[in-house]
Amino acid sequence: MTESEYQEFMVYELLNNGDRERLDLEESELQTILNPEQVFVIVKEELRRIYIWKGAKSPVRKRFISSRVASKLQDELVKEAAFHRCKIVSVDQGDEPEEFLKSFNLKSMEVKERLADMRYVRNIDKDPSTIKGRVVDSSEGAQEAAEQEYYSPALEELKHSGGSISTASSYRSPIRINTKEVIDKITNTELPEGYQRQNFIINQNLLGEISKVTNIFGEDIEEKIWEVVKPPQGVHDLHNYLIRIYFLKNQGLIQGIEILKPKNSAKKSKIQKTSLKLPNNSKPIQERILEVEPPENYKREHLIVGQKLYGTVSKKAEVFGEEQEIDEWNLIKKVPKEIISLEDYLFRVYFSEKENVIEAIEVLRKANGKTASSPLKEENPPKEKKRKELPKIPSNQG
């Protein structure tokens, strides 16, 4: 890995074989991936810290080798990325240091269940650079030296105030997305009749079609390519657009999003900036969105955050003779098709003003109206790219 590939904030998942895997993750998404069965190594160079976050149900082997992995990463960052030497801090689920929680605007994660034998490995004094009874060099602290502790149900645990979308249900390791491969996949998919491409969203970046003209021996050669463009700021509503979502079917993760607008002048598409302001708190973006009432006569149907798609499960309960309906939001792990088309919806796009990325997309429908959701089968890419309208896909293919 080259120096330019290192970032001030990085998250690695510890694998069963002792290796580490870097996750493509924004700092604001950290809370959503913390899972009781996992161990993560989190780098925050600005604070000169490397945190080892250990879930209460994570395998003993992962806990045992986490110090060695973190110490190796510590040396790697100093030598190859010219980072400051970061202090390694151990963090146990449900017993998180206040420094760690404040650094990432997190909430303490409640421990509901531990390992079956009620036993877990924990770094001494939350710092692998010291071993009880003697002072050691920081590199020596990376050895597999740890003490065993036993959990007592009588121990006081920190309370965790759960959000509308639970941390456990929203866990899914992000994957690396090759932007060029996704662009090729989208552009090789047939266009629906009467629509033209306007933008793509890949890796939370907004892409637009750029025309480049090169003069070759007196002749202008025009080339059109898709590149990352600077997005607008704030929250925008998209009216009369068709959106196609491209999934990794076996993983339920989103590869890219295609935004299409109609060519028919009778059905004009419109982008409207709203005055909506989300609550200014430390909750993840999806929870802050749910704290705001949807537009009048609209109901939320889906939320898209990064590579993850959330949907609602409606539950009805009778309370003192009165029926109440509760919407519970869950991460969608399986999708029926690799390409799903959404038409006649209102799309609310949340642009980050700090990072020039798209933080989330809210999919809303008329509360009492019908939508034309058309899941499409994955199309075989044509041998050659041709910019022409193709026959309409029959509705019975979805």
Tell me: do 135 and 246 sit in the same domain.
no
Range of the domain at 95: 3-150
pLDDT in tens, 5-52: 788 899 999 988 888 999 988 888 898 899 898 999 999 988 899 999
Tell me: do 265 and 203 sit in the same domain.
yes
**Does a structural domain hold residue 84?**
yes
* pLDDT category of residue 118 using cuts at 50, 70 and 90: very low
Q: Alpha-carbon distance 253 to 248, whole Å?
A: 5
H or E stretch at 286: helix 285-290
Tell me: do 279 and 351 sit in the same domain.
yes
H or E stretch at 346: strand 346-351
What's the mean pLDDT in 335-352? 91
| Inter-residue contact 341 to 244 (CB < 8 Å) | yes
pLDDT in tens, 120-163: 444 433 444 433 333 333 333 333 333 333 332 222 332 333 33
Query: Which pLDDT score is estimated for 138?
Result: 36
| Inter-residue contact 77 to 83 (CB < 8 Å) | yes
Q: Alpha-carbon distance 147 to 142, whole Å?
A: 14
Tell me: do 203 and 308 sit in the same domain.
yes
| Inter-residue contact 184 to 339 (CB < 8 Å) | no
| Inter-residue contact 187 to 224 (CB < 8 Å) | no
**Does a structural domain hold residue 17?**
yes
Least confident of 206-220, 286-300, 316-330: 316-330
Tell me: do 12 and 50 sit in the same domain.
yes
pLDDT in tens, 47-98: 899 999 999 988 888 888 999 999 999 999 988 888 888 999 999 998 899 8
**Does a structural domain hold residue 173?**
no
| Cα separation values, 143 from 4, 68, 128, 147, Å | 29, 6, 9, 12
175, two tokens: 């994957």
Tell me: do 142 and 230 sit in the same domain.
no
Higher pLDDT, 4 or 155: 4
**Does a structural domain hold residue 119?**
yes
Tell me: do 206 and 68 sit in the same domain.
no
**Does a structural domain hold residue 161?**
no
| Cα separation values, 371 from 112, 337, 344, Å | 40, 18, 6
Tell me: do 231 and 276 sit in the same domain.
yes
Tell me: do 281 and 351 sit in the same domain.
yes
* pLDDT category of residue 175 using cuts at 50, 70 and 90: low
| Inter-residue contact 88 to 74 (CB < 8 Å) | yes
**Does a structural domain hold residue 166?**
no
44, two tokens: 């925050």
Q: Alpha-carbon distance 350 to 357, whole Å?
A: 9
- Amino acid in position 162: G
Tell me: do 185 and 130 sit in the same domain.
no
Q: Alpha-carbon distance 165 to 262, whole Å?
A: 34
Tell me: do 63 and 198 sit in the same domain.
no
Tell me: do 120 and 207 sit in the same domain.
no
Neighbours of 83 (CB within 10 A): 19
**Does a structural domain hold residue 345?**
yes
Q: How many domains does the chain have?
A: 2
Report the CATH number at residue 140.
Answer: 3.40.20.10
Q: Which of 111, 133, 150 is where one domain is finished? A: 150
Q: Alpha-carbon distance 50 to 86, whole Å?
A: 6
| Inter-residue contact 42 to 50 (CB < 8 Å) | yes
* pLDDT category of residue 369 using cuts at 50, 70 and 90: low
* pLDDT category of residue 382 using cuts at 50, 70 and 90: very low
What's the helix, strand, coil split of the chain in %, to 5? 15, 40, 45
E strands, 274-332, in order = 298-305, 308-319, 322-331
**Does a structural domain hold residue 55?**
yes
Q: Alpha-carbon distance 239 to 272, whole Å?
A: 8
